[in-house]
Amino acid sequence: LPTYYNADPSNDAHTHSLSGYIDLASSAMGASVVRASDEKFGAADNLIKASAPGQSDAWVTRRHNPTEDWAVIRLGSTGTIAGFDIDTRGLDGDQAAAVSIQGCLAPEDANVDDEGDLSVEWEDLLPKVEVSGNSRHQLALWTPTTATFSHVRITLHPDGGVARLRVYGTVVAEATEGECDLACATTGARVIAASNDRLGSKDNLILPGLSTDPSTQGWKTRRAHSVDHSDWAIVRLAEPGFLTRIAIDTRPYDGDQPVAASVQACYSELANPERDAECFWYQIAPRTELNANELHELDVTLNDVPFSHIKLIVHPDGAIARLRAYGQRVQEIEVEVAREEAEAKAEAALAAEIGFGDSTPASATDAEDAAASAEPQAAVEVETVEAVEVIVKPRKSEDPAAAHRVKKSKRTDKQQLLSPGRPKKVKPKRSSEDSNEILAADQFSSRAGELIQSLTSPIPQRKRARTRSRAEDTDEGSVDAADGKPKRTSRKSKPR
């Protein structure tokens, strides 16, 4: 079965299957040529140039080579590989007859011997493929590699020349602690889309360092000739993270920079958030005026939400050299939280094994502080108990002396319970106003108690007195024998 296919047979497609990957073998990414077997008519460093090839701008070896020529390239970042671009433009008759590519994972400072070998074994990535002059051969692997590679070796059969070698893949960066640039190509970030990059590639936004080469200088849009226009570029961060600051670099542009720029951010599990219907863009940096040839840093520490993508918006058009998004990875923060929880559990288990509870002070100083903080609370509780006992009075039927003794013993027990081993606190003197308030409360409590006692006590059985009739009160019907008039007796009025 074939292991590769031609991603762009016509050599004029705007996008193809390798468009979404980054060139790991570009000098703009930090790649370098470790060693080459022959550089008679052209240096091997031409292979990794970011610019398009021109005349006499290729790696060309001498003729009549009895074996093969080779060149070992250290990639700018370790990563997986999805395909290659073997470019022979500018070579019409000097190109190699066939090319093959191998890869390996080796230390950064590994040495290459005279045979082009390292201390590790090479793995075949692209078999021997015939190439033609003045054309591009964009060959994609049917299945991108799962293994990571740090070096590749291109072999010419038997000799000849190649103008450029692109190694397309995905960066697999080592995890770093603390704040890092999540929008850099060397950490795994990618530019997903841009509204326009007619005069400067959108991929230049996330390249490491600054460049004076026009091909890698920055992202540059066409002139819009409208103040209401705006251009944008979407960057997928290396990993979702909590952003702290944004850096917009306009160096070395002087006159080509935009008037202003703003930054938005979102979280989406899709590579392109424009295809996510549930994605929402938050503005994390407001519209800011940009100056020529200057690094503009924007503080976004108030955004405590993790983001996966950022969108740079320029008003109305112009050029931006680099875009940086500094922050901390979500995965790193989760690891820190898990470590802290594990340490807390270990400390709790150790304390339980020794015999200390959660409420046990860790030292003598902590014990003294705990006792000092508990002392005022105990005094307050004692004074509260005493105030309640002053208000509540015993019934008249009870023995006041006995009740006083019971209250005193209860109060003494309460004090001993609240502050064992400490002397009894002296009751503070009350003012005349406090005495009046207590006396009024005492009288009210006594009257309330008498009223409650009278309502709840049974009514004694009394002998019912005979009720006098109205006739008897007036003695109606009785006649005085002397004068024959009705007899009227006088009633004594009851004293008021």
**pLDDT, tens digit (0-9, with 9 covering 90-100), for 202-242:** 999 999 999 888 899 999 999 999 989 999 999 999 999 99
Least confident of 122-131, 171-180, 294-303, 485-494: 485-494
Of 250 and 109, more confident: 250
What pLDDT is recorded for position 240? 92
Structure confidence at residue 440 (pLDDT): 54
pLDDT of residue 442: 58
Residue 436: what pLDDT? 57
Of residues 459 and 180, the one with the higher pLDDT is: 180
pLDDT score at 343: 84
- Choose from 138-152, 290-304, 319-333, 402-416 the range with maximum mean pLDDT: 138-152
Dist CA 55 CA 233 (whole Å): 33
Residue 385: predicted pLDDT:
37
Residue 423, pLDDT > 50, answer: no
pLDDT at 108: 86
Query: Residue 336: which pLDDT band, with cuts at 50, 70 and 90?
Result: confident
Confidence (pLDDT) at 463:
45
> Positive or negative CA dihedral for 382, 383, 384, 387?
positive
Percent of the chain with pLDDT over 90: 56
Whose tokens are 């190694």? That residue is 167
pLDDT score of 407: 44
Residue 159, class by beta-carbon neighbours within 10 Å (0-12 exposed, 13-18 middle, 19+ buried)?
A: buried
Tell me: pLDDT of 19 over 60.
yes
Residue 425 has pLDDT above 70, yes or no: no
Task: Record the pTM.
Answer: 0.67
Q: Predicted confidence band at 347 (pLDDT cuts at 50, 70, 90)? A: confident
Least confident of 23-32, 54-63, 167-176, 440-449: 440-449
**pLDDT at residue 296 tops 90:** yes
17-30 average pLDDT score: 94
State residue 14's pLDDT score.
82
pLDDT of 309 reads 97
Give pLDDT, residue 1. Answer: 63
Q: Could you read off the pLDDT of 85-97 as tens digits, one per residue? A: 999 999 999 999 9
pLDDT band at 360, cuts 50/70/90? very low
Q: Between 373 and 31, whose confidence is greater?
A: 31
User: Over the chain, what is the mean pLDDT?
Assistant: 80
pLDDT higher than 50, residue 194: yes
Which pLDDT score is estimated for 183? 96
Lowest mean pLDDT among 29-33, 206-210, 278-282, 389-393: 389-393
Q: Is the pLDDT at 33 greater than 90, yes or no?
A: yes
